[in-house]
Amino acid sequence: MSAAEPAAPPATPSSGASSWRDLLDLTKPRLSLLSVLTTLVGYAAARPGWHAREFAFLCLGTCACAGGVAAVNQWMESDTDARMDRTAGRPLPSGRLPGGNAFVLGWGLTAFGLGCLFAQVNGLSAFFALATVVSYLALYTPAKRESPWATEIGAIAGAFPPLIGWAAAEGGRIHVGALGWILFSILTTWQIPHFMAIAWTYRQDYAKVNFPMLTTRDPDGTRVARWSLINTIAVVVLCLLPSVLGLTTPGYAAVTALLGAWFLARAFDFLSPAGRDASARKLFLCSIAWLPLQLGALVIDRLYFVP
């Protein structure tokens, strides 16, 4: 996540090149890219061999679904986005695009992506993509306004992409191996410290719109920091599990231990009341760097070192 953006005054809908940029912004390209990359991690970890056509449609379908969900999410949250400094400059609350654009673009991309996965990859990959769409839009997005467990619901919704990739690698079989479910669990638990750090940094913004999340109900941040640490411990343990099960080599376990020690150090720092805002920022940046390093180590080990 980038630094907070200043609130923008209402603007008339834009046109030309700026309109295309705003349409692209509706798809949240960086977040969508993360979904695609974790999908490919699931695909590569399953070691299916190289199937160019399947790989291309997997990327296309996942990218379309991720971008479509992001656009519909912004359409659903345009009212609260307009009241938060961090999001007021987005295309819909700023008035640069009408809400109908996000609705049509979002559902159009989502339908195309699901159809692409179902027709060109397989039904199980399309099912997990549909599970992502439903859990994100029908459960997580409304839960943000009502439930203190919205972050956990969102973490589950955001953890399906590796299963999309694993299902694609399985061909027509309705099967997901143990490592696929471990990847799902890793993504779920990783998102808790990652988003707790974000939510603590922008807690005043979330309080403006009365989101009942933990960071708006825990003034000193003690419970936020403890919950972040618990999930950081869990994600490190989950990352070591493939080696315990014989699915990766000792080299992967050594790299995981080093990366895990770094992640845990940042989570322990977040426990200290002194400088909690600064330690939240460090935990957030650490979580961003840790994920590709950890998943990259897993993929390299599976592709090149596991017999």
* 24-83 confidence digits (pLDDT tens): 999 999 999 999 999 999 999 999 888 899 999 999 999 999 999 999 999 999 999 999
DSSP classification of residue 9: P
Residue 173: the pLDDT is: 85
Q: What is the mean predicted confidence (pLDDT) over 79-97?
A: 96
The yes-or-no verdict on residue 218 having pLDDT over 70 is yes
Query: 């309080």: which residue's tokens?
Result: 207
**Which of 229, 250, 228 minimizes the C-alpha distance to 240?**
250
Q: What is the pLDDT of residues 147-163, one digit of tens each?
A: 999 999 999 999 999 99
State if pTM tops 0.85: yes
Quote the distance between the C-alpha of residue 181 and its chain's center: 16
**Which of 5, 197, 200, 195 minimizes the C-alpha distance to 84?**
5
Maximum C-alpha span of the chain = 60
Percent of the chain whose pLDDT exceeds 70: 94
Reported as a pLDDT band with limits 50, 70 and 90, residue 7 is very low
The yes-or-no verdict on residue 249 having pLDDT over 80 is yes
Q: What is the mean predicted confidence (pLDDT) over 224-251?
A: 98
Query: 């390093």: which residue's tokens?
Result: 293
C-alpha distance across the termini of the chain, in Å: 38
Q: Is residue 282 within 8 Å of 269, Cβ to Cβ? A: yes
Angle between helix 178-201 and 29-45 (nearest 10): 160
Reported as a pLDDT band with limits 50, 70 and 90, residue 172 is confident
Q: What is the pLDDT of residues 178-196, one digit of tens each?
A: 999 999 999 999 999 999 9
Residue 236: strand, helix, or coil: helix
Q: How far apart are CA 237 and CA 14, in angstroms?
A: 49
Residue 124: the pLDDT is: 97
**Which of 110, 120, 109 minimizes the C-alpha distance to 58?**
120
Q: How far apart are CA 257 and CA 23, in angstroms?
A: 42
Among the four given CATH numbers 3.20.20.110, 3.90.1300.10, 3.50.50.60, 1.10.357.140, the one describing domain 20-150? 1.10.357.140
**Which of 12, 71, 41 minimizes the C-alpha distance to 297?**
41
The yes-or-no verdict on residue 95 having pLDDT over 90 is yes
Residue 289: the pLDDT is: 98
Residue 14: the pLDDT is: 47
Residue 13: the pLDDT is: 46
Residue 17: the pLDDT is: 63
The yes-or-no verdict on residue 2 having pLDDT over 70 is no
Percent of the chain whose pLDDT exceeds 90: 91
The yes-or-no verdict on residue 1 having pLDDT over 50 is no
Question: 140 Cβ partners below 8 Å, 6+ apart?
Answer: 150, 153, 154, 157
Residue 300: strand, helix, or coil: helix
Q: Is residue 130 within 8 Å of 163, Cβ to Cβ? A: no
